[in-house]
Structure 1
Amino acid sequence: MLAKSWSISDDFLTWTWKFQEGVQFHKGYGEMTAEDVLYSYQQWNAGAKHARAGIIGEFFNHTDGGSEIIDDYTLVVNTGVPWVPAQAFEFMRNSGGSSTWIVSKKQSEEVGIEAASKNIAATGPWEIESSESGVSWKMTAVEDHWRQTPYFAGLIYWTIPEESARVAGFRTGTLDSFDMAFDSLPTVEQVEGALVKGFPNAGQAGLNLYGQLYGLDKDGNEYPQYNPDLAWVSSNPDTESEEWANAVKVKKALNIAIDRQTIVDTLLSGFGKPLSVRDWMGHEARANPDWVYEYNPELAKQMIAEAGFPNGFSITLTPAIRGAVAEVEACEAVAQYWEAIGLDVKFQNIPYSTLRPEVIARNYIGATCHTVGVRLSPIVGASNYETRSTFSYGTHHPWLDENVRDASEEVDPELAWEKNLKVYNWIFDNAMASAIYTHDAIWPIGKKLSIEGWEPTDWSEVRTAVAFEYAQPR
């Protein structure tokens, strides 16, 4: 959007970015320039809280490359090493879990970064007027916006944790749309004038096992959190060892204990499909058809006993609560399936703001249900298995470091897909991580709004209604 055009040199080292002219920051901070773009990404990297902070730093500030502002609308980046476009586009995408945005350098310098982050001068068609943490965000339309002036004067996002309260607000006309659980669809369809707009492949629910910390951390030290007494963690990182085989047996048992189809049929009301390997939603045509965990709880019990845990074991299970449909309920179902094969599941329902720092620090041990959107390429998701990654799925191994990076840096498209398959075949064969299902997106639309011409922008998040600037009065 903010990039008018870009080009990549034949050696995939030099990226030339041309930015839109006339893009105004909110709150009177003037026109966006290449200086604001570079400043913003330097802050994303320095803050170290973004899931791709390290990768962003490598792209813009590689030791063998660097960034140069040519003029107000041109930025040239030498990445130092060949860079695969999908890996860069993933953190530059619009409205996704790992997306970024551009801020005013002038605002940050005038009021300070902390103050600016709470009253941000951004570039979108809606300007933040006020907000109350955990309650609401109130926005006003930006007149004569460079991309799309909204059809409505204002927009309010409300935080309403209870589904029943959201449904009630929609039925009375207080809410024009909301994050809807699929089992609320029959009620919504009965609301006078209500419409429903659907999109496939809105999200994929991953199942991550934390504590598989093999090798050294990014500072070259052993992981203090590594605990080989955990049933799913091997005391030997050698993938040919007996200890490794037993850990794999436990992890495969955890997966075949889950009836994915029943979760899709009940909790998603059929709006989705089972998925055994995460990150491949939307790329099924290239996936390995053998990536399937058939539901077999009796075999799961047997495998856990054979691995040395005849009386089961304890495991902490936490849903990453980020607004995806059925994210808590599906995780609760996983807990019940695991309890049915004799495990002691310690289910904890905590805010994502509490869970995320523990995940980044590699302190969380257990399992999470973590829904993400579509990947531009599966290997983008695998970057969370790299030791260098800021974010972590709790699984690191020297093999992954070597092969994920190799696949991430492959510029030949067909070779890149071969290397994607190599990485995920290894992940599946060793049961390092998995998935539960993919789900569709369903937007409930109230009687005041038209769905004509209202579409998400390319590669946007679609799990909840977005791009309200395109919503017109009915």
Structure 2
Amino acid sequence: GPDLAGGAWGPTQWLSPMQERPIMGDFEKYGPRGTDEYAFRLTGCYVPEQYLRGWLLEDWEVTLEKLVWHVRPGIYWMAIDGVMEARELVAQDIVDDILYLRDCPAGVTFRHFTGDIYVTDRYTLEIEFTKFDLTWIFWLGYEDRALITAPEMLTAPGGADSWDNQTGTGPFKLREYVVGSHMTFDRNPNWWKTTVIDGVEYELPFIDELVMPMILDEATWVSALRTGKVDYDWTVATPQWENLDKTTPELLSSRTEPSGGNGLYLQCTQPPFDDVDVRRAMMVGTDMGDFAALAGLEGLVPLHWYPLSPGHPESLYTPLEKLPAETKLLYDYNPTLAKQMLADAGYPNGFKVYVTSGPS
């Protein structure tokens, strides 16, 4: 299968069958069927703005004072018995959703930089900044919690927690949810999106039925993938890659680095880690290649792939060989040099560190 540089399937893990975001990556224009100039691998969950497009939005304007969002006309919520009739998405729906999220614990991500949020007409809303924050486009535009929910879901009996109340503007409609077994979705015949392939315009989605099975046992899941019982899996663990390549070479694969992971956070506001020279020494004394080997990614992931990866243009991502010497040094494991750097920083005998960690 394609290597890491071709991992364009990775971001599909964040797509919702039913609900949609204000902003999305312009995959059709810049992905494999377009110019193929951007990999859309979402390392660090970041997409450069030049590769984004309006989704529920037609377009937007941004200043240091506020955002102006123009909602795309002609998008409709799906009808759900006892919840809502089919109706057009309007700016007030997005305002209500953002305000609801801002009042929730997850709203901490953008609560500190947003002020008044209001509509100016049926298809226009404005989001005022209390201070400008360039991360707005992620938190409000395309992060997984940026999915827009119909206000009727909140007021229906059972609220948004009820599976029977789920609706959206997206390509699929929930048919059934069997706890511990599967979720089944039917094609939304009124979805607004179309696509052009070889000059021919098609209605979407192409899929009539989408079934998402819940298989907890890894061996069973991999067997289902190998035998074609399931068509797609974006969570295949690295120890399974070689096995699947050998037993099922016809299986299409796309290897990509994850969008995040676990990290060790240093207390940089007090000694010893408030000293940048100590932090540099710690990095030189850490064999980061070992971490890749433990994950089964040795030789597949560059030593510096997060938060920007090789899938980004060099205006954003600098390959290791092009880094300045003082930066490139940090990626060259050298415990002898690290000890000398610590000594030069005033710690010839090193120091003890206490680490707080969860059970996993």
- TM-score range (shorter-chain normalised) is 0.5 to 0.7
In structure 1, what is the equivalent of residue 140 of structure 2? 92
Instruction: Note the C-alpha offset of 1:263.
Output: 3.6
Deviations 1:252-311 (A, max 9, x none): 6654454222443561153211128x53434323996406243245666885872343xx
In structure 1, what is the equivalent of residue 349 of structure 2? 306
Q: Secondary structure at the match of 2:211?
A: strand
Give the 5 Å matches for 1:234-273. 234=270, 243-244=271-272, 255-264=283-292, 267-273=296-302
Letter in 2 for 1:188: L
Give the 5 Å matches for 1:341-356. 348-349=359-360
Tell me how far apart the structure 2 counterparts of residues 118 and 244 of structure 1 sit (CA, whole Å): 54
Letter in 2 for 1:77: I
Structure 1 length normalisation: TM-score?
0.49
Percent identity for Structure 1 against Structure 2: 18
Letter in 2 for 1:160: I
Tell me how far apart the structure 2 counterparts of residues 192 and 145 of structure 1 sit (CA, whole Å): 36
Contact 1:67 1:75 in 2 (8 A): yes
Q: Secondary structure at the match of 1:139?
A: strand
Contact 1:13 1:83 in 2 (8 A): no
* RMSD between superposed Cα atoms in Å: 3.5
Give the 5 Å matches for 1:20-419. 20-28=72-80, 29=84, 30-48=87-105, 50=106, 53-60=107-114, 62=115, 66-84=116-134, 87-94=135-142, 96=143, 98-111=144-157, 113-115=159-161, 119-131=165-177, 136-148=182-194, 149-178=204-233, 179-189=235-245, 190-191=247-248, 193-198=250-255, 202-205=258-261, 207-209=263-265, 212=267, 234=270, 243-244=271-272, 255-264=283-292, 267-275=296-304, 278-281=306-309, 282=312, 283-285=316-318, 289=324, 290=327, 292-297=330-335, 306-309=349-352, 315-318=355-358, 348-349=359-360
Tell me how far apart the structure 2 counterparts of residues 245 and 15 of structure 1 sit (CA, whole Å): 38
Letter in 1 for 2:139: F
Contact 2:171 2:188 in 1 (8 A): yes
Letter in 1 for 2:186: T
Contact 1:126 1:141 in 2 (8 A): yes
Distance change (3 Å), C-alpha of 1:265 and 1:245: closer
Structure 2 length normalisation: TM-score?
0.63
In structure 2, what is the equivalent of residue 395 of structure 1? none
Distance change (3 Å), C-alpha of 1:252 and 1:163: farther
Tell me how far apart the structure 2 counterparts of residues 119 and 300 of structure 1 sit (CA, whole Å): 58
Q: Secondary structure at the match of 1:169?
A: helix
What stretches of structure 2 of length at least 5 have no aligned partner?
1-54, 195-203
Tell me how far apart the structure 1 counterparts of residues 232 and 94 of structure 2 sit (CA, whole Å): 33
Contact 1:182 1:269 in 2 (8 A): no
Q: Secondary structure at the match of 2:272?
A: helix
Instruction: Note the C-alpha offset of 1:92.
Output: 3.4
Contact 2:92 2:118 in 1 (8 A): no
Contact 2:71 2:123 in 1 (8 A): yes
Contact 2:57 2:70 in 1 (8 A): yes
Distance change (3 Å), C-alpha of 1:129 and 1:16: same
Instruction: Note the C-alpha offset of 1:150.
Output: 2.1
Tell me how far apart the structure 2 counterparts of residues 144 and 246 of structure 1 sit (CA, whole Å): 57
Tell me how far apart the structure 2 counterparts of residues 102 and 284 of structure 1 sit (CA, whole Å): 31
Q: Secondary structure at the match of 1:284?
A: coil
Q: Secondary structure at the match of 1:196?
A: coil
Tell me how far apart the structure 2 counterparts of residues 45 and 174 of structure 1 sit (CA, whole Å): 41
